[in-house]
Amino acid sequence: MDFGQMKSVIEGLLFVAGDEGLDAKQLAEVLEQDVAFVTELVLDLQADMKREGRGLQIAQLAGTFQLTTVPEHAPYFERLAFSPSRSSLSQAALETLAIVAYRQPITRVEIEEIRGVKADRALQTLVAKDLIQEVDRADAPGRPILYGTTKPFLDYFGLAGLSDLPETALFENDDNLEEETRLLFEKLEGKQMTFDEMSEDDQL
């Protein structure tokens, strides 16, 4: 495999790794190459992406390499995420949001253990819509991101705080996760409607 192919593989690996990223040692193990050589490849790929004006970049955060969007495109992402309505969220995103709301702070791996499937894309969607955010880093190998809900999450559902979340049996039986999630968001939407009606009354 030549240099170009290895850089292509690295780009794919970083994409799959998502916001957890990969360090040079992990990349070297997968590519079966020396750590110093792989680090040089990553930095070369980083320079290639910047020179070509790509929409993605390689950032080095907490000792890992991560594939991220470029900061100058942020206004366009904000437009995309302007309205965090339920109708624009998939079932996977809703389940992930519910898990974060009740189990925060929580890592991606812990979310995937509850759901039984990958959660990278759902987490990216929720972060883009400003419904969840990075609140800390876990004291574990790789320092994985800990996620929590945001103030816009509370505002959207008309909640004064997390203590206002409705009681749920969401984690008592993972087999019923989809149904429990649906019922939870029906309750939350009911709270939102009540909150909106109260706000209208205050204006009268």
Q: Which of 14-23, 123-132, 177-186 has the lowest mean pLDDT?
A: 177-186
Burial of 173 (0-12, 13-18, 19+ CB in 10 A): exposed
| Mean pLDDT of the 48-64 span | 91
The helix, strand and coil proportions of the chain, stated in percent and rounded to the nearest 5, come to 60, 10, 25
| Domain 3-72 matches domain 81-203 at the CATH topology level | yes
The larger pLDDT score, comparing residue 181 to residue 22, is at 22
* pLDDT class of 86 with cuts at 50, 70, 90: very low
Q: Alpha-carbon distance 50 to 57, whole Å?
A: 7
Q: What is the pLDDT of residue 196?
A: 42
CA dihedral 62, 67, 73, 77 (to 10 degrees): -90
| pTM (two decimals) | 0.53
Please choose, from the candidates 131, 130, 141, the residue with its C-alpha nearest in 3D space to the C-alpha of residue 107: 141
| Mean pLDDT of the 132-155 span | 90
Q: What is the pLDDT of residue 22?
A: 93
Q: What is the pLDDT of residue 203?
A: 42
Residue 115 confidence (pLDDT) above 90: no
Q: What are the extents of the domains in the chain? A: 3-72, 81-203
Q: What is the 3-state secondary structure (H, E, C) of 125-152?
A: HHHHCCCEEEEEECCCCCCCEEEEECHH
Q: What is the pLDDT of residue 31?
A: 94
Q: Do residues 70 and 56 make contact, with C-beta atoms less than 8 angstroms apart?
A: yes
Q: Alpha-carbon distance 125 to 27, whole Å?
A: 26
Topology (CATH level 3) of domain 3-72: Arc Repressor Mutant, subunit A (1.10.10)
Helix (H, G, I), strand (E, B) or coil at 85: coil
| Mean pLDDT of the 86-114 span | 84
The tens digit of pLDDT for each residue in 163-203 reads 877 776 666 655 666 666 776 777 666 654 443 443 344 44
Amino acid 151 reads K
* pLDDT class of 123 with cuts at 50, 70, 90: very high
Instruction: Write out the two tokens for 174.
Output: 């993972």
> CATH classification of 81-203 is 3.40.50.300, yes or no?
no
Instruction: Write out the two tokens for 138.
Output: 């876990």
